[in-house]
Amino acid sequence: MQDTGTFSGSAGFTKSDDRDALALNLINRVSVGDITTRAADVYGARPAIIEGSRSFTFSDFDDLANRIGSGLLSLGLSKGDVIGVMSRNCTEALACYFACAKAGLIFCPINLGLRTEEIIYCLNDAKARVLIAQHRFSEQAAALSRNVESIRHLYWIEKASETDHTHPGPTLHDLSLAGSNSELEVLIGDRDPVQLLYTSGTTSRPKGVLTSHLAVTMTALSSALVNRMTPESTTLMTLPLYHCALLNGRAVPAMAVGATAVLTDGFQEVETADLIERHEITTLVLLPMMYQGLLSHPETAQRRFPTVSRACYAMTPMPEERLKAIRWMFPNADVVLGAGQTEFTPPATYQQPTHQWEKASSWGPPTPLTRAAIMDDNGELLRRGHTGEIVYRGPQAMTEYLNNPEETAQSFRGGWFHSGDIGWIDEEGVIWFADRKKDVIKSGGENVASIEVERCLMGHPAVAEAAVIGLPHPRWGEAVTAAVVLKSNVTVDEEELISHCRHRLSSFKAPKSIQFVENFPRTGTGKIKKHELRQSLATLYCPPE
């Protein structure tokens, strides 16, 4: 947290005068809450959020955030208290984020992909004081209220109808009426935490990632720059707001530059296509499986969207065949990959437009303000072209893992943030991802990158998605094993897919077995839960006695 208690200069502020300390803080601070204030000043009557039939101007949205923020403070909350929000995408949930930022509180969006017991763990770990929820999550909200002792207040996002007696209690509207639309003036340090996002817990209990006002603001400006977002931009926001890819990589940048955001509460192929056309969307970010949905749905497969100038995707590179199809669907768009992780407020890397053709399998170079390097297991930085762990430096790094100093120290060892990703950097400064450290398969003394095998499988015309894991094997130690989801109305046998890989990869990288599945276990943001696949297939080669 910045020291706003002392200042010696022409303004004559002293540490004994709290009003002067706040005055200086309001002048020179970096605060996420100030983003909507500036946006309202400059873009006031222009549309900030379009959600279904509702539209909010920048002034409307800033007023709502101020009312919620001052309403929260009227509850007697203290600086740094945590506010849990359990909601699908909606304007009110996003307003709660900026309300917390204005009030010096910490916004904790609940990952809807977590189980109830995991959410209870997260809110107990955070010592959340307030829970704000949609009616659709009433059963879980009730369970949270019973099992999280720190929660003192529960507010519903929607107004209950006169005939609805199932959701008693105050609403967010009631809370906002208790507040004021006057701009909140609260002393906030640049490094004070503004958000607490919990990791999806794919390998262990979820970890709480505390991120500062400075980190979020730097990411917002960086993301707006690399995505060429301007007041003339209209962005589609379909990914969940409880995930940093949309919250920090898209929503806050749009507000910062005065772009209009079209908000949806989920992804549906036809609805997405209609929204792109109706609102003349210029920029969007979707997951690979969402693009695949647009390409394969009978009502959207032949539609084209010429207004889009930037079609971004996240999580993983896609095969060339699919990228070509996406470029046909978005004929005027750069189709580029952005990458990052919650702990380093994404995006940390972004492909440049030329990379969609020349280096489509890469992550692109680091974003502005980010420095990337490759480090070996001894903490030594490696020359370009050598493979090791990808490490970062930059102001967008998390502050810490909440209540977990050991993990924090491990991630920050040696003066770099350790991503847990394996890769290399080429002569152009472009980062190439090889695999997650924990997903590298050690088979017969050789290291196999699971993502390389996945890309190969997804290059087969019958394969929609693939996940490759290592399973215990009496001879190989770990056997390369693939789980595959096929495209609709297509059949292929195991041997054909294995042969496909053997002709394109070194023999030791080819899967020993292909398991056909209808779908994958996923986190709330669409990541495949490989640990669950490993558990379900653990005895494939080593049956229990």
Dump pLDDT digits (tens) for 493-527: 999 999 999 999 988 899 999 999 999 988 766 77
| Number of Cβ within a 10 Å radius of residue 37 | 18
User: What is the SS3 assignment for 250?
Assistant: helix
Domain range list for the chain: 34-45+52-216, 267-436, 442-536
Cα separation, 116 vs 93, whole angstroms = 20
Phi, psi of 200 (to 5 degrees): -75, 0
DSSP conformation class of 271: H
Amino acid identity, residue 49? I
**Per-position DSSP letters for 411-479, written without gaps between them:** HTGGGSEEEEEEEEE-TTS-EEEEEEGGG-EEETTEEE-HHHHHHHHHTSTTEEEEEEEEEEETTTEEE
Cα separation, 64 vs 82, whole angstroms = 19
DSSP conformation class of 249: I
Specify the DSSP element, H or E, that contains 222. helix 213-226
Cα separation, 138 vs 141, whole angstroms = 5
What band does 3 get if pLDDT is binned at 50, 70 and 90? very low
What band does 274 get if pLDDT is binned at 50, 70 and 90? very high
Q: What is the mean pLDDT of residues 2-25?
A: 57
Cα separation, 163 vs 175, whole angstroms = 21
User: Given a cut of 80, is residue 5 above it in pLDDT?
Assistant: no
Cβ atoms of residues 131 and 141 within 8 Å:
yes
What band does 160 get if pLDDT is binned at 50, 70 and 90? low
Helix (H) and strand (E) counts in the chain: 18, 24
Q: What is the mean pLDDT of residues 61-75?
A: 98
Cβ atoms of residues 21 and 5 within 8 Å:
yes
User: Given a cut of 90, is residue 435 above it in pLDDT?
Assistant: no
Q: Measuring CA to CA, which residue among 201, 114, 110 is closest to residue 531?
A: 201
Cα separation, 470 vs 155, whole angstroms = 45
User: What is the SS3 assignment for 135?
Assistant: helix
User: Given a cut of 90, is residue 234 above it in pLDDT?
Assistant: yes
What band does 211 get if pLDDT is binned at 50, 70 and 90? very high
User: Given a cut of 80, is residue 8 above it in pLDDT?
Assistant: no
Poorest-pLDDT segment among 299-308, 416-425, 441-450, 458-467:
441-450
What band does 142 get if pLDDT is binned at 50, 70 and 90? very high
| Number of Cβ within a 10 Å radius of residue 272 | 24
Q: What is the mean pLDDT of residues 382-390?
A: 96
What band does 409 get if pLDDT is binned at 50, 70 and 90? very high
Query: Which has the higher per-residue pLDDT, 527 or 236?
Result: 236
pLDDT at 14 (0 to 100): 44
User: Given a cut of 60, is residue 382 above it in pLDDT?
Assistant: yes
User: Given a cut of 50, is residue 440 above it in pLDDT?
Assistant: yes
Q: Measuring CA to CA, which residue among 517, 509, 375 is closest to residue 437?
A: 375
Q: Do the domains at 34-45+52-216 and 267-436 have one common CATH topology?
A: yes
Q: What is the mean pLDDT of residues 450-479?
A: 91
Arithmetic mean of pLDDT over the chain: 92
**What is the CATH code of the structural domain delimited by 442-536?**
3.30.300.30
Q: Measuring CA to CA, which residue among 341, 434, 440, 352 is closest to residue 392?
A: 341
What band does 1 get if pLDDT is binned at 50, 70 and 90? very low
pLDDT at 127 (0 to 100): 98
Cα separation, 38 vs 29, whole angstroms = 13
Token couple for 76: 């007697």
User: What is the SS3 assignment for 28?
Assistant: helix
All residues at 6 or more sequence positions from 278 whose CB lies less than 8 Å from its CB, including other chains:
none
User: Given a cut of 70, is residue 76 above it in pLDDT?
Assistant: yes
Scored b (16 or more CB within 10 A) or e, 114-131 reads: beeebbbbbbebbebbbb
DSSP conformation class of 489: T
Beta bridge partners of 431: 364, 425
What are the contacts of 53-60 at 24+ separation with CB within 8 A?
54/91, 56/91, 58/255, 58/258
Cα separation, 156 vs 174, whole angstroms = 9
**What is the CATH code of the structural domain delimited by 34-45+52-216?**
3.40.50.12780
User: Given a cut of 70, is residue 52 above it in pLDDT?
Assistant: yes
Sole residue written with tokens 């209609």: 274
State pTM to two decimals.
Answer: 0.86
Tell me which fold the domain 267-436 belongs to: Rossmann fold (3.40.50)
Through-space distance between the first and last CA atoms of the chain, rounded to whole angstroms: 58
pLDDT at 2 (0 to 100): 39
Cα separation, 431 vs 258, whole angstroms = 31
Cβ atoms of residues 515 and 483 within 8 Å:
yes
What band does 115 get if pLDDT is binned at 50, 70 and 90? confident
Dump pLDDT digits (tens) for 179-209: 999 999 999 999 999 999 998 755 567 899 9
Q: In this prediction, what percent of the chain has a pLDDT beyond 90? A: 80
What band does 175 get if pLDDT is binned at 50, 70 and 90? very high
pLDDT at 13 (0 to 100): 40
Dump pLDDT digits (tens) for 351-360: 999 999 999 9
Poorest-pLDDT segment among 3-7, 88-92, 101-105, 427-431:
3-7
Q: What is the mean pLDDT of residues 88-115?
A: 96
Token couple for 320: 């060339």
**Per-position DSSP letters for 47-100, written without gaps between them:** EEEEETTEEEEHHHHHHHHHHHHHHHHTTT--TT-EEEEE-SS-HHHHHHHHHH
User: Given a cut of 80, is residue 139 above it in pLDDT?
Assistant: yes
Q: In this prediction, what percent of the chain has a pLDDT beyond 70? A: 94
pLDDT at 6 (0 to 100): 33
Cα separation, 372 vs 370, whole angstroms = 7
